[in-house]
């Protein structure tokens, strides 16, 4: 996985920087709500002092009315915070979804080495934790902190003793955050790691359900899940032990402070250093502050979840992207001249050299057939030509332009390919072929359907070309799926066609018809094909043997 020096805290700050305007509003409303909230203890203090006079007069009613207005106004401020928080949640979700959609097609193929991209996409579900957790942090933590700050300021006017109480409170919060938060975050990250391992195994069993249906008599699926679930439970228990420690610290502090303040407050009243109204108000403020401290400490689990989720999302957003800038030198009238010089390709993780000292050139409309034993690097070579992976060393030129200086999307727009990982996605047949390209006309689409022997299949579907096919084309036959992929490759009339076993298992008459179409003189493309079907040799004048990553012309 990509290495990034950003800590979870830095990721959180980056997110908050994006939403700083709304965060300022939430904090501002929290400050006003905190100030208004002081009307409750101050109002009660004044009401008690008046009641001690033995009369229920208009002044008491006015004070009660002011307290009620303060409570209502505080509620309105809280609702305004909730409205902003809801907008914030929606933006976090939307931004994350578009970031994942934007990044996955543009992440360097080498970055996926050793990983299963659909499993990595599961990190998107951490977005829901972030979108719920960040507003909760902002609202609850800001309210709690401001409640503590305003409460300490108010209490300091009652008696100097309460200043000492404030110092002890700050020390407690420092001890909790300093000595348990880093460990709590680390155990949360470990818990999340094992959670995804369990999810990945469930996904694997679901993906290969037919294999497990037939062959799982020895309960491999359950045994492996048992081990993974046990690892998760151990990690969860380690995390809970941190939460438990924090909770016990909070209970001890709460009991100590409540008892001490009741005793000392009572003594201050007895010694007439406070009146009964001030005592009641001080106790209300202190209870509110203790509740705020409790909210801060119990809210740490939410903080851990948010930070962990940001780190998991970062596993995707940190993956290196392909160059998104570069030259766009080609047009539909441009002929493609391709040249490779001393190309080497080594897989980063295994350090296995797949291609070695490859020198190769392609002239416009040239047809090349590549053959060789399994594991020789043929598919990797095709991916290289298609611009899906980059060489470790050597030079790759297209019309004398180094491909590293060309916009990759621009280059690929002139390349069509049928490779092992090309599969239908969930969408209409039209979308699977045209990718919503507005330049593709119905006439062009119908021509391709006819030439690739797809027209009868499309006509047999209940909604024709608009029929929705499922992920990986699961309800389609192998040959129909291949034809759709081939139609996708040729529909935009690319300059280069890169094909791996495109006609396997096709009927002989279909094979002949499709080959005749692909090799028509009027077609604009250069063809490079890898296949075990000998019929390709009849159409490709150039034939090259690839052995152990080396070309043998």
pLDDT of res. 431: 93
State whether 269 and 416 are in the same domain.
no
Over residues 76-95, mean pLDDT: 90
pLDDT at 553 over 70: no
Over residues 278-294, mean pLDDT: 78
Residue 340 has which token pair?
């490779």
State whether 307 and 373 are in the same domain.
no
Over residues 268-286, mean pLDDT: 77
Number of domains in the chain: 2
State whether 193 and 91 are in the same domain.
yes
State whether 172 and 302 are in the same domain.
yes
Over residues 411-426, mean pLDDT: 90
CATH number of domain containing 365: 3.40.50.300
pLDDT band at 491 (very low <50, low <70, confident <90, very high): very high
- The residue out of 317, 347, 376 marking a domain boundary is 317
Question: Considering the domain boundaries, does residue 395 fall inside one?
Answer: yes
Location of structure tokens 């469930």? 202
Question: Considering the domain boundaries, does residue 105 fall inside one?
Answer: yes
Question: Considering the domain boundaries, does residue 265 fall inside one?
Answer: yes
DSSP-assigned beta bridge partners for residue 340: 360, 396
Question: Considering the domain boundaries, does residue 93 fall inside one?
Answer: yes
Burial pattern 253-291, b for ≥16 Cβ within 10 A else e, equals bbeebeeebeebbeebbeeeebeebbbbbbbbbbbbbbe
Over residues 102-114, mean pLDDT: 87
What is the rounded distance in angstroms from the CA atom of residue 446 to the CA atom of residue 141?
61
- How many Cβ atoms sit within 10 Å of the Cβ of residue 52? 11
State whether 428 and 480 are in the same domain.
yes
User: E strand or H helix at 370, and its extent?
Assistant: strand 367-371
Pick the closest to residue 404 from 343, 468, 494, 332 (CA basis).
Answer: 343
State whether 372 and 275 are in the same domain.
no
State whether 414 and 533 are in the same domain.
yes
What is the number of alpha carbons within 13 Å of residue 39 lying toward its C-beta? 18
Helix, coil or strand: residue 92 = helix
Give 89-93 contacts, CB < 8 A, sequence gap 24+.
89/131, 89/132, 89/134, 89/135, 90/131, 91/19, 92/15, 92/19, 92/127, 92/130, 92/131, 92/134, 93/127, 93/128, 93/131
Pick the closest to residue 502 from 385, 379, 388, 408 (CA basis).
Answer: 379
pLDDT of res. 467: 92
Q: Above pLDDT 90, what percent of the chain? A: 38
State whether 94 and 212 are in the same domain.
yes
State whether 386 and 521 are in the same domain.
yes
State whether 110 and 157 are in the same domain.
yes
Per-residue model confidence as pLDDT tens digits over 513-543: 999 999 999 999 999 999 988 899 999 999 9
pLDDT of res. 125: 92
- Per the structure, the complete domain to which residue 531 belongs is given by 338-552
Question: Considering the domain boundaries, does residue 325 fall inside one?
Answer: no
Per-residue model confidence as pLDDT tens digits over 330-349: 888 778 888 999 999 887 66
Over residues 314-341, mean pLDDT: 85
Question: Considering the domain boundaries, does residue 1 fall inside one?
Answer: no
Mean pLDDT of the chain: 86
What is the rounded distance in angstroms from the CA atom of residue 473 to the CA atom of residue 130?
34
State whether 287 and 342 are in the same domain.
no
Residue 336 has which token pair?
């493609």
pLDDT of res. 1: 54
pLDDT of res. 404: 86
Question: Considering the domain boundaries, does residue 329 fall inside one?
Answer: no
Question: Considering the domain boundaries, does residue 56 fall inside one?
Answer: yes
Phi, psi of 41 (to 5 degrees): -65, -40
CATH number of domain containing 76: 1.20.1560.10
State whether 100 and 249 are in the same domain.
yes
């Amino acid at each position: 996985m990509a290495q990034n020096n950003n800590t979870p805290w830095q990721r959180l700050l980056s997110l908050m920087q994006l939403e700083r305007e709304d965060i300022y509003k939430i904090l501002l409303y929290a400050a006003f709500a905190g100030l208004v909230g002081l009307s409750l203890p101050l109002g009660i203090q004044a009401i008690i002092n008046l009641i001690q006079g033995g009369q229920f007069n208009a002044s008491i009613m006015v004070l009660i009315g002011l307290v009620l207005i303060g409570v209502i106004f505080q509620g309105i401020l809280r609702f305004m915070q909730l409205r902003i928080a809801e907008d914030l949640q929606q933006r976090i979700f939307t931004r994350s979804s578009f970031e994942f959609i934007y990044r996955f097609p543009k992440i360097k193929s080498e970055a996926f080495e050793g990983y299963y991209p659909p499993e990595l996409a599961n990190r998107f579900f951490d977005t829901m934790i972030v979108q719920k957790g960040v507003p909760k942090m902002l609202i609850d933590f800001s309210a709690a902190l401001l409640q503590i700050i305003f409460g300490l300021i108010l209490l300091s006017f009652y008696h100097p003793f309460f200043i000492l109480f404030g110092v002890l409170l700050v020390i407690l919060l420092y001890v909790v955050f300093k000595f348990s938060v880093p460990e709590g975050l680390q155990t949360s990250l470990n818990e999340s790691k094992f959670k995804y391992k369990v999810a990945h195994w469930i996904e694997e069993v679901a993906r290969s359900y037919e294999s497990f249906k037939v062959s799982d008599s020895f309960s491999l699926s359950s045994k492996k899940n048992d081990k993974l679930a046990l690892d998760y439970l151990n990690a969860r228990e380690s995390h809970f032990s941190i939460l438990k420690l924090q909770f016990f610290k909070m209970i001890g502090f709460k009991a100590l402070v409540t008892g001490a303040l009741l005793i000392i407050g009572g003594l201050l009243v007895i010694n007439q250093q406070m009146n009964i109204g001030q005592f009641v108000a001080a106790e209300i403020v202190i209870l509110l502050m203790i509740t705020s401290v409790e909210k801060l400490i119990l809210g740490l689990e939410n903080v851990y979840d948010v930070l962990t989720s940001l780190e998991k999302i970062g596993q995707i957003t940190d993956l290196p992207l392909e160059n998104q800038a570069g030259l766009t030198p080609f047009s539909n009238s441009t002929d493609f001249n391709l040249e490779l010089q001393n190309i080497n390709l080594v897989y980063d993780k295994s350090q296995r050299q797949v291609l070695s000292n490859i020198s190769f050139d392609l002239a416009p409309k040239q047809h090349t057939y590549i053959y060789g034993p399994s594991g020789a690097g043929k598919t990797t070579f095709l991916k290289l030509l298609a611009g899906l992976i980059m060489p470790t060393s050597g030079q790759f030129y297209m019309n004398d332009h180094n491909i590293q200086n060309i916009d990759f999307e621009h280059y690929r727009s002139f390349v069509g390919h049928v490779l092992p990982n090309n599969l239908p996605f969930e969408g209409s047949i039209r979308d699977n072929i045209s990718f919503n390209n507005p330049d593709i006309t119905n006439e062009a689409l119908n021509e391709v359907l006819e030439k690739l022997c797809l027209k009868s299949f499309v006509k047999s579907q209940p909604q024709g070309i608009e029929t929705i096919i499922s992920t990986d084309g699961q309800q389609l036959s192998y040959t129909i799926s291949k034809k759709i992929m081939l139609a996708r490759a040729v529909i935009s009339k690319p300059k280069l066609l890169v094909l791996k076993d495109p006609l396997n298992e096709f009927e002989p008459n279909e094979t002949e018809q499709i080959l005749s179409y692909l090799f028509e003189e009027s077609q604009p493309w250069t063809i490079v094909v890898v296949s075990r079907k000998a019929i390709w040799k009849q159409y490709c004048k150039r034939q090259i043997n690839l052995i152990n990553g080396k070309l043998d012309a």
